Amino acid sequence: MNNIALAARPASFDVDALRRQFPVLSRLVRGKPLVYLDNAASAQRPNAVIDAVNDYERHHHANIHRGVHTLSQEATALYESARDKMVDFIHARSRNEIIFVRGTTEAINLVAQSYARPLLQPGDEILITHLEHHANIVPWQMVCEQTGATLVVAPIDARGEVHFDAVAALMSPRTRLLACAHVSNALGTVLPVRRLIAAARARGIVTLIDGAQAVSHMDVDVQALDCDFYAFSGHKMYGPTGVGVLYGREQLLERMPPWQSGGEMILSVTFAKTTYNGLPNKFEAGTPNISGVVGLGAALDFLQGLDREAAHAHETALLERASAALSRIPELRIVGTAPDKASLVSFVVAGVHPHDLGTILDEDGIAIRTGHHCAMPVMEFFALPATARASFAFYNTFEEIDRLAAGVERARKIFA
């Protein structure tokens, strides 16, 4: 482990200093120091985000794009500067390609209803994979019901891996859209999205990538990926809840009708005709989550200020440490063992139901997720009702992983 420890902690990456920027990490839970290992559900916020939201609420709040008064102009500037930061962060071409939404779920629904629904004909196909989150399954099922299109599901293997060939083989002349995760929330599997997108593009298939679990673990460059849509949530990348992003290729967004209608998305309204606003406002009807967007902008500044390469290396070391420590526990099985994984471990322990394990770990101050992770088809594939999932962020430590392993051992003793 020493080699990993040395590799993971270059001088530029000081986990303890980083942890001090996240106030919640110093609290006690049930009398023990919190060990927060539920980052894939929602990551914690650094002071930079908390302070930015606080400062906005205290000093700058007004409705945006509406007023000539000072507060409205300040709020608008803060909101729109977050959009500029997002353009840089994911390497979009322009501000017109960044739509602020409530989160990944709303982003996917927007594409399903505004892009897919008007386009699809009976017999057309939407291609997804077996390890998608429900948010990347159900919106497509609804569109299929609405249009007569068919949902086609690419398989996974026993390691929870999605093979390029298996997906490519299902791309047919009727495939209109490929929608798949960048990283599986239930298993951590990283999908071969770059190759899949290239194969789809060669066949004229539009692509949507669910990046909810990816943006916090890797650098995402939507131009290098060459996807058409990329959806993600602010709260999984250390920002607030209730805000997320749909990246869309501008030519596609231009052609799509507004999804929701109301204020902000219009240029002019008479009772005879309404003229829609241009991008990106066309898709941002109503007063948005302004403070959430401001907080998300602060999260981007925070992430840009990190040595992200070192942070990712640390996360990889955490994954290796956790996989090794948990594998040593008798009767424990790691579910999802693809060679390329993000920093999370899904597992089951014979004789200990995940919910009991979750309660027992909580007693030790350790927060993990238990259940089906909104990916019931994945659970069905592995014939499991639920798993326990520990998901890591760059502020987690090796000591915390050791406490996790000790907690699992304790649970085994209770149920022995």
Partner 1 sequence: MELNELYRDVILDHNRKPRNFGGLEPADASVEGFNPMCGDRLTVRLRLADDTISDIRFEGQGCAISTASASLMTEAVKGKTRAEALQLFDRVHQLLTDDAATGADELGKLAALSGVREYPARVKCASLCWHTLASALRSANPQALPAVSTE
Q: Kindly list the catalytic residues.
A: 374
- 155 forms part of the interface with partner 1 (CB under 8 A): no
- Minimum distance of partner 1 from residue 363's CB (angstroms): 5
- Minimum distance of partner 1 from residue 378's CB (angstroms): 12
Distance CA 79, CA 289 (A): 9
Distance CA 245, CA 230 (A): 8
DSSP state of 183: B
Q: What share of the chain is helix, strand, coil (3-state, %, to 5)?
A: 45, 20, 40
Beta-bridge partners for 196: none
DSSP state of 64: S
- 164 forms part of the interface with partner 1 (CB under 8 A): no
Instruction: Out of 147, 189, 370, 391, point to the residue binding partner 1 (CB under 8 A).
Output: 370
Which CB, 308 or 372, lies closer to partner 1? Answer: 372
Name the CA radius of gyration of the chain, rounded.
22
- Minimum distance of partner 1 from residue 154's CB (angstroms): 24
Which CB, 116 or 352, lies closer to partner 1? Answer: 352
Contact residues for 53 (Cβ-Cβ < 8 A; gap 6+):
240, 291, 292, 294, 295, 298
Which residue carries 């602010």 as its tokens? 234
x/- letters, 349..368, toward partner 1 (CB under 8 A): ----xxxx--xx--x-----
Which residue carries 């990538």 as its tokens? 209
- 386 forms part of the interface with partner 1 (CB under 8 A): yes
- 415 forms part of the interface with partner 1 (CB under 8 A): yes
Instruction: Out of 172, 372, 397, 409, point to the residue binding partner 1 (CB under 8 A).
Output: 372
- Minimum distance of partner 1 from residue 232's CB (angstroms): 25
Which CB, 152 or 360, lies closer to partner 1? Answer: 360
- 135 forms part of the interface with partner 1 (CB under 8 A): no
| Residues 205 and 177: beta-carbon distance below 8 Å | yes
DSSP state of 187: T
- 154 forms part of the interface with partner 1 (CB under 8 A): no
Q: Is 33 helix (H, G, I), strand (E, B) or coil?
A: strand
- Minimum distance of partner 1 from residue 375's CB (angstroms): 11
Question: Could you list the residues that contact partner 1 (CB under 8 A)?
Answer: 353-356, 359-360, 363, 370-372, 376, 379, 385-386, 414-415
